[in-house]
Amino acid sequence: MNARVEQLKSTVSETKATDIRAAFAADPARFSKYSVTLDDILFDYSKCAVNERILHGLEALATEAGVAKKRDAMFAGEPINFTEGRAVLHTALRNLANTPVLVDGKDVMPDVNAVLAAMGAFSDGIRSGTLKGATGKKITDVINIGIGGSDLGPVMATLALAPDHDGPRLHFVSNIDGAHIADTLKLLNAETSLFIVASKTFTTIETMTNAATARKFIADALGDAAVANHFCAVSTALDKVAAFGIGAERVFGFWDWVGGRYSIWSAIGLPLMIAIGKEKFGEFLAGAHAIDEHFKSAPLRQNIPMLLGLLGYYHRNVLGYATRAILPYDQRLSRFPAYLQQLDMESNGKGVTLDGKPVDGNSGPVVWGEPGTNGQHAFYQLIHQGTSVIPAEFMIAANGHEPELRHQHQLLMANCLAQSEALMKGRTLEEAKAQMASKGMDAASIDKIAPHRVFTGNRPSLTFVYDKMTPFAFGRLVAIYEHRVFVEGALFDINSFDQWGVELGKELATGLLPVVEGKESAAGHDSSTEGLVAALLKAAK
Ligand code: F6P
């Protein structure tokens, strides 16, 4: 692997691959060579620093790392999340072909279909008003209480599919900070509110604490008995849900082979289903299923998640870029970068390989971003002229949902395309000088100012274009990124499906709670922690 990476580094310098601008000038067919079409999706990676030799090298890397074999093992339900002894089968949740998917010899599809049907009946009941609050009123507000994968997926998806939202209002409470639930409760009428407690483990302190606060809100307003009508739960831990007091008919299960950050397709998607209805939720699943089939069968040079993963690995480990920016030109994808942060960084932010050795090179990059055009007026300066190269990932629909605002969509498209063109082309010193001269600037000023107006260019980006952000299109986009994370994890040779890295902080927080409550001394902690505790307690009222 290491030898292959070194070879790729040599190929980059021998072929001057990072001179993307020159590559475009030399080859008029570059776009058609380095772009892929799948139905209405166009994936353009021609503005990345690739050429035939590099793509062959990356293909060889994928073969050596056994990416296709690992992919097939995932779809086959093998326990590839070996540190937790689990299969990884979020793909079964959207297996609309309904072909058997075996875990320990048992077909999981009947259970998957049964939960989906129960979610459908429940969401129909809430949407139509046949399932009412304790005082007989229709539910107008649904509040999802969850965190991480039990929050980011539904919150991001509900925003993304806002044009399809015709169900009750949705709210999301995640943070342990009491401000989050307090601000939400202020907006609610207990009689018309339904709380969904969403937690895979049903032990997460944030979710359990917020659920207890919400329960008190209902009990104080309507009495204890009303809790039954105003709560439901989504979890793999059915015994713990029962202990909380939520009736079995209001509990939607999923399974340990669904990772939290891959769970939007499971009952964790219930808020989305309530918002858009079960039919459109089905279209969302269908979009992801279409990508699963594509990922399994398309040849590498046509396979969008494979190419995206290989490019991600190339950027991180061959070219050494430490971050990547997710830049959707779609305001409704405003939480997509945050969603991908969890998906990608919780999956691939690992330091040891499958056999417990230090990762050879780097694992996953820092993922961040904001929708365009807002980001253009904030951090794009650094992407264009800063000293770090940051691969940018653009996404744009050909059609917005507001035909009456077509001109605004045209401005959006023009901006998106302008950014990737500017990143690639840049502006040379000569071009900067010529431009200034054409505006009548004097020679001395030109010499002084021109260097500040230079853009190095050759900054990589890739772009997704699609017809319109429908539930189907959205399901495809999310699944493409899921599989991209898989491909990169396979190349890093890590387990992308555990998350031990979040444990230590949780353990220490448990130990620090009695300290900040003033019940235990901070002695024994490091002097910084001791000092911080003292300052907080001194100021506490
Ligand atoms: O942050 C760790 C984590 O376990 C995530 O992987 C998960 O999505 C989140 O916490 C919430 O967990 P749960 O759904 O069990 O409450």
User: What's the ipTM?
Assistant: 0.98
480, 64 contact by CB (below 8 A):
no
Query: Ligand 1 center to residue 308 CA distance, Å?
Result: 26
Contacts of 321 (CB under 8 A, 6+ apart): 315, 365, 388, 389, 390, 391, 460
Mark the ranges of the chain whose per-residue pLDDT is less than 70: 1
Q: What is the pLDDT of residues 374-386, one digit of tens each?
A: 999 999 999 999 9
Structure confidence by residue, pLDDT tens digits, 137-173: 999 999 999 999 999 999 999 999 999 999 999 999 9
Please report, for residues 77, 197, 370, 406, the alpha-carbon distance to residue 231 in angstroms, rounded to integers and kept in the order given: 33, 7, 34, 42
Atom of ligand 1 nearest to the CA of 150: 14
Concerning whether 90 is annotated as a catalytic residue, the answer is: no
Q: Which amino acid is at 499?
A: Q
Distance (Å, rounded) from C-alpha 235 to C-alpha 233? 6
Q: How far is ligand 1, taken at its centre, from the CA of residue 84, in Å?
A: 14
Q: Are 287 and 474 in contact (CB under 8 A)?
A: yes
Does residue 346 have an active-site annotation? yes
In terms of Cα–Cα distance, which of 189, 186, 517, 153 is closest to 346? Answer: 153
Confidence at residue 2, expressed as pLDDT on a 0 to 100 scale: 82
- Contact (CB, 8 A) for 525 and 534: no
Ligand 1: centre distance to CA 207 (Å): 10
Instruction: Give the C-alpha distances (Å, rounded to integers) separating 340 from 127, 269, 318, 336, 459.
Output: 30, 16, 22, 6, 22
Whole-number Å distance between alpha carbons of 243 and 420: 54
Q: Which atom of ligand 1 is nearest to the CA of 198?
A: 14
* Secondary structure (DSSP) of 239-306: HHHHHHT--GGGEEE--TTS-GGGGGGTGGGHHHHHHH-HHHHHHHHHHHHHHHHHHHHS-GGG-HHH
Give pLDDT, residue 530.
Answer: 96
Task: Say how many Å lie between the CA of residue 92 and the centre of ligand 1.
Answer: 20
Model confidence, pTM: 0.97
- CA–CA separation, 127 and 491 (whole Å): 44
pLDDT at position 244 is 85
- Ligand 1 pocket test target in 86, 90, 144, 147 with most atoms within 8 Å of CB: 147
- The one-letter amino acid code at 78 reads E
CA 246 to centroid of ligand 1, rounded, Å: 20
Residue with tokens 């910084």: 528
Which residues, 6 or more positions from 463, have their beta carbon under 8 angstroms from its beta carbon?
42, 43, 44, 47, 393, 394, 395, 396, 416, 417, 420
Under 8 Å between Cβ of 383 and 459: yes
Q: Nearest CA to 50 among 15, 81, 4?
A: 15
Pocket test for ligand 1, best of 84, 90, 150 (most atoms within 8 A of CB): 150
Catalytic-role residue among 283, 346, 482, 488? 346
The preferred substitution site among 83, 155, 234, 499 for testing ligand 1, maximizing ligand atoms within 8 Å of CB, is 499
pLDDT for the residue 412: 98
Ligand 1 centroid – CA 260 distance (Å): 6
Rg (CA), the chain: 25
Whether the Cβ atoms of residue 127 and residue 167 lie closer than 8 Å to each other: yes
Distance 150 CA to ligand 1 centre (A): 7
Is residue 279 flagged as an active site residue? no
Ligand 1 binding pocket mutation candidate from 174, 200, 244 (most atoms within 8 A of CB): 200
Query: Among the options 186, 377, 538, 541, which is catalytic?
Result: 377
At residue 1, the pLDDT reads 65
Q: Whose CA is nearest to atom 3 of ligand 1?
A: 148
Write out residues with Cβ below 6 Å of ligand 1.
147-150, 199-201, 204, 207, 260-261, 346, 499, 502
